Amino acid sequence: MTSPAAPDAAPDAAISVRGLRKVYRGGKEALRGIDLDVPRGAIFGLLGPNGAGKSTFINILAGLTIKTAGQVRIWGFDQDRNPRQSRAAIGVVPQELNIDPFFTPRAALEVQAGLYGVPRARRRTDEILAKVGLADKAEAYARTLSGGMRRRLLVAKALVHDPAVLVLDEPTAGVDIELRRMLWDYVRELNARGVTIILTTHYLEEAEEMCDRIAVIGDGRLIACDDKAALLSRLDERVLAVRIEPEEARAQAARLDLPGGARAHLRADGWLEIAYRRGATDPGALIARIERAQGRIVDLSTREPDLEDVFMSLLREAGAARDRAG
């Protein structure tokens, strides 16, 4: 693949968004003023609960949804002032598997390349098909492709014009582990060649593994945007897991009032998991409290907070701030 078509001076921000708002017909405000920069060369994760506004954000970048207000620059090109260049700089893999059933993968890529004005001599149809593992399906009708193969075809279609920025909206929803691995390997390879990647995913461990920078959107607002490591270290939280005997005591223990605002919940595997703030309490106090009230601790482990803990904590904080604001 050639390097992505970049202006003479590649911008620091692959995507730069200011004051982005979207109000849908009917009045739903899906984005309430987002300011966001995606650094060039990043693998950038966009996270948020259902209905947070992620797809709206991505569809606006892709030019599929018209924004209500704000400025969007893609690879330095203003979406309103330079629509052609900004569109050429981005490739989007949509969430839905919307593929024309009567096209073969080869024809689908050729049509897509035509739409983007890629001259025949510069088309890389076979190379792209091979990369996404569809070389032997090049002439099959799309309606005969499995869900995973359709997903790969969508990735291939997003790449025909060599975009500098590739956006993947939930690319691994419902795909098997093997395809997921293959897709991520390919994404990493593209990134290593200079393509900036933006992805949304509901699998937080996936974002934790793949992304170097992460934004969290909640209810149309940006509630965090930071390097992954900074985001993870922001939470002064530890998780202690204990196994209590007898079994009957476990559910009771989950309801105990614990020191320092620690929160407990009983996992499906019978372990009691307790999230506590290091500054507010120490594990010794927690253990003593549980043993005093309930049974015997027969096993224990601790772990660092993961992205899921951070994510839940950010959403809780944002919810509490909204409640306070009324």
Ligand X SMILES: Nc1ncnc2c1ncn2[C@@H]1O[C@H](COP(=O)(O)OP(=O)(O)OP(=O)(O)O)[C@@H](O)[C@H]1O
Residues lying near ligand X in the complex (CB under 6 A) = 24, 26, 28, 30, 48, 50-56
Burial of 110 (0-12, 13-18, 19+ CB in 10 A): middle
Toward ligand X, which CB reaches closer, 154 or 164?
154
Residue linked to tokens 């699998």: 203
Toward ligand X, which CB reaches closer, 55 or 281?
55
Toward ligand X, which CB reaches closer, 48 or 76?
48
Toward ligand X, which CB reaches closer, 50 or 98?
50
Toward ligand X, which CB reaches closer, 59 or 104?
59
Provide, rounded to whole angstroms, the least separation between the CB of residue 287 and ligand X.
38
Cα dihedral 65, 22, 12, 231 in deg (nearest 10):
-120
Provide, rounded to whole angstroms, the least separation between the CB of residue 55 and ligand X.
3
Tokens of 122: 């510069």
Provide, rounded to whole angstroms, the least separation between the CB of residue 61 and ligand X.
12
Provide, rounded to whole angstroms, the least separation between the CB of residue 270 and ligand X.
31
Spatial CB neighbours of 281, under 8 Å, sequence gap ≥ 6: 258, 259, 260, 261, 262
Q: How far apart (Å, rounded) are the C-alpha atoms in residues 20 and 40?
A: 20
Angle between helices 147-159 and 177-192 (to 10 degrees): 10
Q: How far apart (Å, rounded) are the C-alpha atoms in residues 201 and 149?
A: 19
Q: Which helix (H) or strand (E) holds 313?
A: helix 307-325
Tokens of 145: 């492709």
Q: Which helix (H) or strand (E) holds 110?
A: helix 105-115
Provide, rounded to whole angstroms, the least separation between the CB of residue 33 and ligand X.
14
Region for residue 156 given its phi and psi (left: phi exceeds 0; alpha: psi -120 to 50; beta: otherwise): alpha
Provide, rounded to whole angstroms, the least separation between the CB of residue 263 and ligand X.
25
Toward ligand X, which CB reaches closer, 28 or 296?
28
Provide, rounded to whole angstroms, the least separation between the CB of residue 182 and ligand X.
23
In our burial notation (b when 16+ CB lie closer than 10 A, e otherwise), range 7-41 reads eeeebebbbbbeebbbeeeeeeebbeebebbbbbb
Toward ligand X, which CB reaches closer, 34 or 195?
34
Q: How far apart (Å, rounded) are the C-alpha atoms in residues 227 and 215?
A: 9
Provide, rounded to whole angstroms, the least separation between the CB of residue 181 and ligand X.
23
Region for residue 309 given its phi and psi (left: phi exceeds 0; alpha: psi -120 to 50; beta: otherwise): alpha
Toward ligand X, which CB reaches closer, 118 or 310?
310
Provide, rounded to whole angstroms, the least separation between the CB of residue 72 and ligand X.
15
Cα atoms found within 13 Å of the Cα of residue 13, Cβ hemisphere only:
14
Toward ligand X, which CB reaches closer, 6 or 173?
173
